[in-house]
Amino acid sequence: MSTTTERTRPTAENPVVDVRGLEEVLLGRWADIRRTARAFLTDPRLHRVEGQTMAQHRETVLAQLRILAREGDVLRAFPPALGGADDHGGSLARFEETIVADPSLQIKAGVQWGLFASAILHLGTADHHARLLPGAMSVDVPGVFAMTETGHGSDVASIGTTATYDPETREFVLHTPFRGAWKDYLGNAAVHGTAAVVFAQLVTRGVNHGVHAFYVPLRDPATGGFLPGIGGEDDGLKGGLNGIDNGRLHFDHVRVPRADLLDRYGRVAEDGTYSSPITSPGRRFFTMLSTLVQGRVSLDGAAVNTSKLALIIAVTYANQRRQFAGGSPTEEVVLLDHAEHRRRLLPLLAQTYAQAFAHERLLETFHAVFSGTADTDEDRQDLETIAAALKPASTWHALSTLQTAREACGGAGFLTENRLVSLRADLDVYVTFEGDNTVLLQLVAKRLLADHSREFKDIDAGGVARYVAGRAADAAMYRTPLVRVVQTLADGGDRRRSAGQLRDTETQRELLTDRVETMVAEVAAALRPAAKASRAEASRLFDENQHALIECARAHADLLQWEAFTAGLAKVQDPSTRQVLTWLRDLFGLTVVERNLAWYLINGRLSAGRARTVTSYIDRLLVRLRPHAQDLVDAFGYGPEHVRAAIASGAEGERQREAREHYRRLRASGTEPVPEKAVRSS
Amino acid sequence: MSTTTERTRPTAENPVVDVRGLEEVLLGRWADIRRTARAFLTDPRLHRVEGQTMAQHRETVLAQLRILAREGDVLRAFPPALGGADDHGGSLARFEETIVADPSLQIKAGVQWGLFASAILHLGTADHHARLLPGAMSVDVPGVFAMTETGHGSDVASIGTTATYDPETREFVLHTPFRGAWKDYLGNAAVHGTAAVVFAQLVTRGVNHGVHAFYVPLRDPATGGFLPGIGGEDDGLKGGLNGIDNGRLHFDHVRVPRADLLDRYGRVAEDGTYSSPITSPGRRFFTMLSTLVQGRVSLDGAAVNTSKLALIIAVTYANQRRQFAGGSPTEEVVLLDHAEHRRRLLPLLAQTYAQAFAHERLLETFHAVFSGTADTDEDRQDLETIAAALKPASTWHALSTLQTAREACGGAGFLTENRLVSLRADLDVYVTFEGDNTVLLQLVAKRLLADHSREFKDIDAGGVARYVAGRAADAAMYRTPLVRVVQTLADGGDRRRSAGQLRDTETQRELLTDRVETMVAEVAAALRPAAKASRAEASRLFDENQHALIECARAHADLLQWEAFTAGLAKVQDPSTRQVLTWLRDLFGLTVVERNLAWYLINGRLSAGRARTVTSYIDRLLVRLRPHAQDLVDAFGYGPEHVRAAIASGAEGERQREAREHYRRLRASGTEPVPEKAVRSS
């Protein structure tokens, strides 16, 4: 995207960003796939049409989904024999880009291929693949992923729907025993879905073997009516994502053939004998659910891409829009030259870069696990933990970035034509679906505790974090040897030297790492008595420390992002660009420190004087980065067909130019009215 | 609203809230008007119909506006001679309630009566009142308040539209000289408005006398077409408030009769001579704009009411919904019994109470000024400052409360039937219209600086805060004599004693007041050189301190709310209720301290040990307040016809009861499937 701001010339103090080179770094390992997807997504047939009714939007998105199936290279994750490419990382990289067309389309695609078809792929076996995958892949069978119930979302293990095996007829009897056990919030359930993968408690021979998945036809494709025993409701209008027909389903003793249990991890013989390749019910549940991780990974990527769009819009506008007089008597000040405006937008830009680098690493980890190059239980658990840490961080960040961008664009930001409000409405639910952020952070915390001490692997008194087993994690991703350099920060020294220390990579790493480790150790100590306490007492102890656990996980997520950003710097060849990105990384790191400044002070990690330096150094970084803001958003590599926001189109720059020209001509003409103030004082 | 939670019996440690008594206290001085308005607003004709198209929603709201005009007692602020009651505070109290029907209706009413008719009332004179008010009051003339331009929103003094007097024809020539000077974002401009109050630079005899208001017919009421020389555009779909037809207007040398200048504060004689009762152009501008303050006051009240609705919904649901096992093997835990859930919701409840009390005081100040019992320039400036401090606090708070409530209700919160998402979408723009929050906070800061030292009254180097003159303020509202008791907090003592100090009213006051005063003094010292610096240097200095200025204003707003809450405690007669409210006030005060803990540590106001106590005492307060959460939201006094959220209707409680009954019967029947885990371990 072109910009009207004048670029500073390169000097040692004023480096210049190599926008195209930086764009390549950000495109990452799957650059070609991303580029192809972005080119494809310039097609107006795929773009959100604002102002449609819910019914129209739903039909538009279904039609777009079929275009994707035919032309969009969206089947990369499936087996080559069925037209796929067994390319898991590339597939997600491609899906994440879809959000620039319409988040509803991204999520509808996620429901169809990432959840419905993917459950058949990962939980089913050869017969299911041959019978069921083609229809799911081609969208001949729009499918529902029926896991969540009205009564149970985050706690999937406790769902109420049952599938009881009847050896007489060799069928499962699928049943919803009470209203709270209705399946709910399901994409494709209200209108389009003709089949579903339904999760239910598998009961055979009087034993409940826990949650398993069943393939269940829902509607007669010819009439659209429900099949016998099946009913449902439309969830109706939502806060966003209204291109997806979410709804409820219930089952009244619906007969499911034995063969339609997706039986990779649990089978029932004709006589009702249950068997599974995984002995432990807990580990089996975790394994089955772990195929869901791709949802979290792709939400993380989509959220980061949305933050990029928001910042392109807000920064471009802030570089053109002028408001309030400043140092010049005739020119108003460009918004981004107001200090508060910089302080609102630039730290968000820094965090978006951090998250973009962190997401790339997550995607690589995901690819290694799903392609089988690194797919031990440990690898899968690492992947789960990293996804559970990053998805909350990036989805919450996207909401605050969209909102700050919206406010920074004033009334213009509130107009749908400028996209920020619709994107925000759509992204809202990203923080609670595919794993509620607060619940995910507790999974992360439990893993941190487990790493801290094996004794604590059985802490799930509160019932949280049922399926994350405790073990040591991928050291490269989040463990750094501790070097106690922090003390020097608490010591004397002038302000300039202090700032110098703050921009030192090892100092930042130490500050962030130390915080995670100290907090985890404190919570671990507080929870130690839980191991030997009664259920009620353990539960109380856990509750008392719940907030601290979540804070540990957030701190860990901050560190993950910072480490990824720091590692990303090494990929930048051009020294001038690397200089700017290093300032941006420093801004991210110090913003995290500033947000938690009280902790550093209370725990003696920073003296009061050094703590002040954090803020003043952030202010210096904001001034340094300001001239590069446009380049840094341009490097996200989205064109006008992706951004599609009137205020980021250059129109505002043109309006400002016209207004200034008007006043210039008026002054030159000698007919400019004299201000009353000037008349009075003369 | 009824609740299914069991109430604790009254003991010294467990007081009981007198819900009805507390409701009376909250209804405040205009209790009768509020009660009547709430009863009226149960009428389904006035309620938001979800899922309408923009065009339908606009027509619905216009029809509702006419119902309000006929039946809604909405003309209280107008002169008795014209059917009003000269009741300014009561009028706003009544309007603020309208938000429970539909925020679009509140804002459409605000445009019609609070801006358009109010401008005629306050800026016009007897002839205008007689000629123009009846149509505006009855909505026979739907009106536009045409102040904001595409190019200038916050900086009204710099608008580009001109009204140049032509003594030949005794008319003003109203003209939009360039695209950026188009009027924009105007309610009623896209479709319904048949007349407007247009703000333009008044030019006569070659002198620009600054911004004045003109009454201008826009459309032929019969055809709906624009009158000659007038054009416009529809702003189209917005992020919310789509019941209002916002649009743009432009004027091509439109002739306005001399009599249609609203000339209370500035008149032009037939020969073009300008005169005004207010000599200073700056003070005149401030006076004319100060009639707008009622917009900010009513947004503050409406935002507080919306936070109340959000908390009623989220707390009621959190008291019924169960998720995750806890201390009991058979019962899941009610959401509000999870510590993190309390920590997310209860501080928001405390702040909502603080803002409700603060709003009541603001409304009383407003009433005193507008009814003439206390309407000196100083009174008006106090009113401006308090409104400018509270409106940002309450509108941002409403957004975060709605969002947190939405997330706390999970997927259910995202369904439109539960109202949170629509309310949030509508309230979004409250933070930037009627004075952008960030700009308003700078006005507050400038006033704080002016009070701090008269020398600084001319600081508007950055062009911000043009019209707030500096002078000492209403001491009762925000000034408290400083007693240096803080030192004791930094001293030794055990944890219990420390907590005892933190709940001491004087300690909290001291902590909050000291922060405001210290920060203001620091910024004042930093800005001192600006008085004698060049324009460019002064501007740079101002920019360097802009963020600190905004922080001062926020701290001041926190203090205002805390003082109002504290004063409100005295109105509560029942000691048991007062005990609970005092805990809630403590929670508010200490949450503010916790949010700014780094400041207290850096500035030596709290020792590290005491700082830890702040958080642990907050945790204790959350546990104490938890049993009273339902009572505290019930006391807001809204019934099911106001709340209209499916999840707060008791349906969730019924679902939970049914599910538990199902499992109880299953256990009793002896046919309950045995968990696989139990089979294996036996």
Beta-bridge mates of residue B627: none
Q: At B149, give phi and psi (nearest 5°).
A: -120, 165
Mean local confidence (pLDDT), A143-150: 97
Asked whether residue A171 falls in the same domain as residue A248, the answer is: yes
pLDDT above 60 for B449: yes
The answer to the question of residue A16 being in a domain is no
Q: How far apart are CA B26 and CA B637, in angstroms?
A: 9
Q: Which residue of A has its CA nearest to B461?
A: A326
Confidence of residue A495 (pLDDT cuts 50, 70, 90): low
Q: Nearest CA to A244 among A397, A433, A421? A: A433
Q: Which residue of A has its CA nearest to B239?
A: A421
pLDDT above 80 for B553: yes
Q: Which residue of B has its CA nearest to A425?
A: B425
The last residue of one of the domains, among B138, B171, B202, is B138
The answer to the question of residue B454 being in a domain is yes
Residue with tokens 């679902």: B655
Q: With beta carbons under 8 A apart, name residues in chain B contacting A53.
A: 51, 53
Per-residue pLDDT reduced to its tens digit, A392-421: 999 999 999 999 999 999 999 999 999 999
- Residue B494 has what pLDDT? 55
Mean local confidence (pLDDT), A653-671: 94
Whether A179 sits inside 8 A of B602 (CB atoms) is: no
Asked whether residue A265 falls in the same domain as residue A312, the answer is: no
Confidence of residue B385 (pLDDT cuts 50, 70, 90): very high
pLDDT over 70 for what percent of chain A?
A: 91
Asked whether residue B308 falls in the same domain as residue B255, the answer is: no
The more confidently predicted of residues A478 and A271 is A271
Asked whether residue A128 falls in the same domain as residue A170, the answer is: no
The answer to the question of residue B352 being in a domain is yes
Any chain B CB within 8 A of the CB of A413?
yes
**Amino acid letter for position A8:** T
Any chain B CB within 8 A of the CB of A547?
yes
Q: A-contacting residues of B 416-435, CB under 8 Å? A: 416-417, 420-422, 424-425, 428-429, 431-433
Any chain A CB within 8 A of the CB of B413?
yes
Q: How far apart are CA B69 and CA B665, in angstroms?
A: 57
Interhelix angle B293-318/B377-408, rounded to 10 degrees, is: 30
Asked whether residue B404 falls in the same domain as residue B314, the answer is: yes
Q: How far apart are CA A185 and CA A182, in angstroms?
A: 10
Question: CATH code at A188?
Answer: 2.40.110.10
- Residue A153 has what pLDDT? 87
Asked whether residue B187 falls in the same domain as residue B304, the answer is: no
**Amino acid letter for position A656:** Q
Any chain A CB within 8 A of the CB of B185?
yes
pLDDT above 70 for B2: no
Asked whether residue B395 falls in the same domain as residue B362, the answer is: yes
Q: How far apart are CA A362 and CA A378, in angstroms?
A: 15
Residue with tokens 């216009």: B62
The last residue of one of the domains, among A246, A280, A314, is A280
- Indicate which of A150, A154, A313, A324 best probes the interface with B, i.e. most B CBs within 10 Å of its own CB: A324
The alpha carbon of residue A108 and the mean position of all alpha carbons in its chain are separated, in whole angstroms, by 16
Q: How far apart are CA B62 and CA B55, in angstroms?
A: 11
**Amino acid letter for position B334:** V
- Residue A313 has what pLDDT? 98
Overall number of domains in chain B: 4
**Strand bridging mode A207-217 / B674-675:** parallel
Confidence of residue A501 (pLDDT cuts 50, 70, 90): confident
What six digits make up the tokens of B87?
């009741």
The answer to the question of residue A244 being in a domain is yes
- Which of B151-155, B375-379, B506-510 is predicted most confidently? B506-510
Mean local confidence (pLDDT), A322-335: 87
pLDDT above 60 for A483: no
Min mean pLDDT across A455-469, B12-26, B585-599 is at A455-469
Q: How far apart are CA A615 and CA B233, in angstroms?
A: 45
Residue with tokens 């200038």: B152
Asked whether residue B482 falls in the same domain as residue B591, the answer is: yes
Q: Nearest CA to B523 among B548, B492, B543? A: B548
Residue with tokens 């933070």: B431
The answer to the question of residue B6 being in a domain is no
Q: Which residue of B has its CA nearest to A237?
A: B416
The answer to the question of residue A249 being in a domain is yes
Q: Which residue of B has its CA nearest to A442?
A: B340
- Residue A497 has what pLDDT? 60
Q: A-contacting residues of B 244-263, CB under 8 Å? A: none
Asked whether residue B507 falls in the same domain as residue B565, the answer is: yes
- Residue B9 has what pLDDT? 59
What six digits make up the tokens of A203?
């009961």
The chain-wide mean pLDDT, for chain A, equals: 91
pLDDT above 60 for B486: no
Mean local confidence (pLDDT), B577-585: 97
Helix (H) or strand (E) holding A564: helix A546-569
Asked whether residue B126 falls in the same domain as residue B231, the answer is: no
pLDDT above 70 for B311: yes
- Residue A326 has what pLDDT? 84
To the nearest whole Å, the CA of A416 is away from the closest chain B CA by 5
Question: CATH code at B590?
Answer: 1.20.140.10
- Residue B531 has what pLDDT? 85
- Residue B292 has what pLDDT? 83
pLDDT above 50 for B479: no
Confidence of residue A558 (pLDDT cuts 50, 70, 90): very high
Any chain B CB within 8 A of the CB of A415?
yes
Question: CATH code at A29?
Answer: 1.10.540.10
Asked whether residue A183 falls in the same domain as residue A312, the answer is: no
Q: Which residue of B has its CA nearest to A597?
A: B598
Q: Nearest CA to B393 among B356, B343, B446, B340? A: B356
- Indicate which of A233, A676, A680, A681 best probes the interface with B, i.e. most B CBs within 10 Å of its own CB: A676
Query: Helices H, strands E: what count in chain A?
Result: 27, 14
Residues of the domain holding A80? 21-138
- Residue A9 has what pLDDT? 58
- Residue A496 has what pLDDT? 54
pTM of the model: 0.93
- Residue A154 has what pLDDT? 85
The chain-wide mean pLDDT, for chain B, equals: 91
The answer to whether the beta carbons of residues B501 and B488 sit under 8 Å apart is yes
Any chain A CB within 8 A of the CB of B679?
yes
Any chain A CB within 8 A of the CB of B240?
yes
The answer to the question of residue A153 being in a domain is yes
Q: How far apart are CA A449 and CA A517, in angstroms?
A: 10
A176: left (phi over 0), alpha (psi -120 to 50) or beta: beta
Whether A543 sits inside 8 A of B337 (CB atoms) is: yes
To the nearest whole Å, the CA of B178 is away from the closest chain A CA by 6
- Residue A460 has what pLDDT? 43
Q: Which residue of B has its CA nearest to A545?
A: B339
Q: How far apart are CA A9 and CA A15, in angstroms?
A: 8
Asked whether residue B273 falls in the same domain as residue B331, the answer is: no
Measure CB to CB from residue A180 to each of B329, B598, B656 and give the nearest one: B656
Mean local confidence (pLDDT), B319-340: 90
The answer to the question of residue B151 being in a domain is yes
Q: Nearest CA to A191 among A61, A47, A51? A: A61
Q: How far apart are CA A360 and CA A356, in angstroms?
A: 6
The alpha carbon of residue A60 and the mean position of all alpha carbons in its chain are separated, in whole angstroms, by 25
The last residue of one of the domains, among B88, B111, B138, is B138
Per-residue pLDDT reduced to its tens digit, B267-284: 999 999 999 999 999 999
Q: A-contacting residues of B 135-154, CB under 8 Å? A: 148, 150-154
Any chain B CB within 8 A of the CB of A573?
no
